[in-house]
Amino acid sequence: MRLKPIHTTITSTGVKCLFSLGILLCTQTSLAGNNYMAMSLEQLLNVKVHSAAKKTESLGDTSAAIYAITSADIERSGVTTIPDALRMVPGVEVAQADANSWAISIRGFNGTLANKLLVLVDGRSIYNPVFGGVLWEAHELMLEDIERIEVIRGPGGSLWGANAVNGVINITTKHTRDTQGSLVSAVAGDEEKGTLNARHGGVFGARGTYRVYAKGFKRDSSIKPDMGTGSPADTYDEWDGYRGGFRMDWADEFTLQGDAYRTDAQQLRPDFSFTVPTTIEQQTIIYEGANLLGRWTDKTWNGPTLTMQAYVDWNRRDEPFNFIDDRTTVDLEAQYDFAATERHAVIAGAGARWLFDDREGNRNVEFTPQEDEYAVYNAFVQDKITLVPERWFLTLGTKVEHNDFSGYEVQPNVRLQWLMDNDQSFWAAISRAVRTPTPIEEDLTSTLITAPSIRIAFVPNDDVASEELTAYEFGYRHQFTPAFSMDLAAFYNDYDKLSTVSIGEPELINNGSDPLHFLVPVQFVNSMYGHTRGAEITSGWTITPTLQISASYSYLYMSLISDDEDREAAERLSPRHRASARVYWDIRENIMLGTTVSYADQLPASDVDSYVRLDLNLGVELSDNVRFNLVGQNLLDPAHREFSTIDDLNAAEIERSIFAKLTWQFR
């Protein structure tokens, strides 16, 4: 028995949707098509997700706090970046630090390099193992090609491995059979200086389909926080780049895809020196990369499924006054899904990842060693056991990994699910997850401050251990009426061995190349622990077939304990309260209005005030294959800070943005 979906559909030109469990689930149709009867209600209600169990299952069958952003959600909201799309998800903290960087996390520990969140694109990890986090500015995807963004709030280490501590974001692009024909879209506005997307899809052979795409973009700089001058000044943080790629599918059996990109992001950085005062220099950080991924699936009807995937990913980050990170990743994995007996649904798999890193520094930054090779090996198994048919289910699983920084890591997981009736379900889980050390924590020497005869710098520490989490979660889903549903998740997270820094005793340095000076060493250590607790609630209400509302609220409490209270600032970098509401209104058959209002609580550690954000998207179909959108973001005030402290070199206020988008799609 599955949780009964809501039998209320919403139609608008190009999109067909329904509300279920507080999530707007939509299926994109052709821009020219209004033939919604071609899709049966059974097809529309059979919404599938993949990330919670690492296999396809219906949303109502999942025993995790999962939220799905669909392609239609992206289109209706008018967002132009993945970070802005993630603002829709309850429990996900999205704060824009400046024009080209974001702080994104789940359930706390936010930062521009939040290291407890694993992010994948079509199964390829974009978590940066050197920095420990996701460099969002390097991954400006073509949003029109995204099928859905699945977000798991809570640990996913038993299936996805290390660093999936507080959550997993899995971005899935569309099958090429769904992107046939050509599409061109252009964006222009005051902050969105210009974006051009182009895509073409076709067929080859008897069963093959393909697409190729290209994207270029340029975004304006933000403004500096008001320092009492009365006139705003631009920051040095413009952002531009281009990206291109392809995907080929042989039915549902084999996929080959690849991308190449370059992104330029402006930032200010200090240039340290013993002989002259530290200067602030303008620099452009250059991100370059290319990847190639292949995936083969052998599936028998109602039988076992074997999936094998391999990818090669090269990326390079060149930051003046710091270092060049040039890394190649080779990843292989296999997964086998089968029903061992009538009551046991088993997933088992194994994988290996090899990383080849060259981290070229300068007089202020050095890695020891500069060139390094390291590997990660893993194996996992998970069994979903039917305790009482159509009522009670128990999931047991674990992943065992070995990495060159912390050795063996075991990440078990226990989940219990109760389908109370057709309209209600309850689930609970206990999980363990780890965040493994990075080369920055173990191998880095980096100047923080210089003064005459003094240098304060990070120094290596080979004894850094993995951060550990034991998580307790439960969730409840209820479809109160055919038009109203609710999804609740609550958690208690217990953290140990959290990474922080320790300042050592000064030592005199006489190396013959630098002036005689004292070095004050700073090392990463595992000297903090603590807990978080909170809840997230989401609801959806279909008022009429042309007017729908979804709303969400999340609460987070953090308590961290360290020998030095200054190290506990992380508990004040995440908002305690967040809330949002989205309204989708089909004014006429060819006119749609999407409205999003969101609230974020204050961040005491960075002196960021609470704020309310209003975004509007007015969409008009001008013809069967041409659509026009007028979008306004941050409409309630000219500008506001969302994350950085006011004395940060790159502190910025995020400005109000107005832009237009024209989309032309044809076959």
pLDDT tens sequence across 200-220: 999 999 999 999 999 999 999
- The residue written with tokens 């210089």 in the block is 450
Reduce the DSSP state of residue 149 to 3 states and report it.
Answer: strand
Q: Is residue 55 part of a domain?
A: yes
Q: How far is CA 623 from CA 26, 28, 33, 37, 666, in A?
A: 22, 17, 11, 21, 11
Q: Is residue 1 part of a domain?
A: no
* Reported confidence tier of residue 230, pLDDT bands at 50, 70, 90: low
Q: Which residues contact 67 (CB under 8 A, 6 or more apart)?
A: 23, 88, 89, 90, 150, 151, 153, 538
Mean pLDDT score, 650-660 = 94
Reduce the DSSP state of residue 32 to 3 states and report it.
Answer: coil
- The residue written with tokens 């429990």 in the block is 91
- pLDDT tens-digit series, residues 419-439: 998 889 999 999 999 999 999
Could you tell me the end-to-end alpha-carbon distance of the chain, in angstroms, rounded to an integer?
41
Give the percent of the chain with pLDDT over 70: 90
Question: For 252-261, 280-289, 295-304, which range has the lowest pLDDT when averaged over its residues?
Answer: 295-304
Pairing of strands 517-544, 454-458: parallel
Average pLDDT over all residues of the chain: 88
The rounded distance, in Å, linking the Cα atoms of 570 and 574 is 7
State yes or no: pLDDT of 4 exceeds 70: no
Q: Which residue has the higher pLDDT, 483 or 277?
A: 483
Give the percent of the chain with pLDDT over 90: 69
Q: Is residue 444 part of a domain?
A: yes
**Among residues 601, 614, 593, 606, which one has the least CA distance to residue 556?**
601
Q: Is residue 3 part of a domain?
A: no
**Among residues 272, 256, 146, 154, which one has the least CA distance to residue 197?**
146
**What was the pLDDT predicted at 428?**
97
pTM (2 decimals)?
A: 0.91
State yes or no: pLDDT of 31 exceeds 70: no
Pairing of strands 324-341, 407-421: unpaired
Tokens found for residue 574: 């995440």
Q: Is residue 4 part of a domain?
A: no
Q: How far is CA 296 from CA 150, 204, 299, in A?
A: 22, 18, 10
Contact yes or no for 168/152 (Cβ under 8 A): yes
**What does 75-135 look like in DSSP terms, one character per residue?**
HHHT--SHHHHHTTSTTEEEEEEETTEEEEEESS---TT-TTEEEEETTEE--BTTTTB--
State yes or no: pLDDT of 6 exceeds 90: no
CATH code of 189's domain: 2.40.170.20
Which amino acid, one-letter code, is at 626? V
* Reported confidence tier of residue 329, pLDDT bands at 50, 70, 90: very high
Q: Which residue has the higher pLDDT, 300 or 613?
A: 613
The rounded distance, in Å, linking the Cα atoms of 67 and 49 is 9
Bridge partners, 632 (sequence order): 616, 658
- pLDDT tens-digit series, residues 275-297: 777 788 899 999 999 999 999 99
- pLDDT tens-digit series, residues 51-98: 666 677 766 678 889 998 999 889 999 999 999 999 999 889 999 999
Select, from the ranges 278-287, 568-577, 591-600, the one with the highest average predicted confidence (pLDDT): 591-600
**What was the pLDDT predicted at 32?**
32
Burial class (CB in 10 A: 0-12, 13-18, 19+), 311: buried
**What does 375-388 look like in DSSP terms, one character per residue?**
EEEEEEEEEEEEEE
Contact yes or no for 78/659 (Cβ under 8 A): no
How far is Cα of residue 37 from the mean position of the Cα atoms in its chain?
35
State yes or no: pLDDT of 46 exceeds 60: no
* Reported confidence tier of residue 563, pLDDT bands at 50, 70, 90: confident
State yes or no: pLDDT of 1 exceeds 70: no
Domain interval for residue 249: 9-666
State yes or no: pLDDT of 564 exceeds 90: no
Q: Is residue 240 part of a domain?
A: yes
Number of domains forming the structure of the chain: 1
The rounded distance, in Å, linking the Cα atoms of 587 and 491 is 40
- pLDDT tens-digit series, residues 170-206: 999 999 999 999 999 999 999 999 999 999 999 999 9
- pLDDT tens-digit series, residues 335-392: 999 888 889 999 999 999 999 999 998 878 899 999 999 999 999 999 999 999 989 9
Q: Is residue 306 part of a domain?
A: yes
Element holding 14 (H helix, E strand):
none
Geometric angle at alpha carbon 607, from 605 and 610, rounded to 5°: 110
State yes or no: pLDDT of 132 exceeds 80: yes
Element holding 623 (H helix, E strand):
strand 611-623
Reduce the DSSP state of residue 511 to 3 states and report it.
Answer: coil
For residue 437, cis peptide bond before it (omega within 30 degrees of 0): no
Contact yes or no for 653/645 (Cβ under 8 A): no
- pLDDT tens-digit series, residues 490-507: 999 999 999 999 999 999
Which amino acid, one-letter code, is at 554? S
**Among residues 92, 79, 34, 62, which one has the least CA distance to residue 580?**
92
State yes or no: pLDDT of 396 exceeds 50: yes
Q: Is residue 34 part of a domain?
A: yes
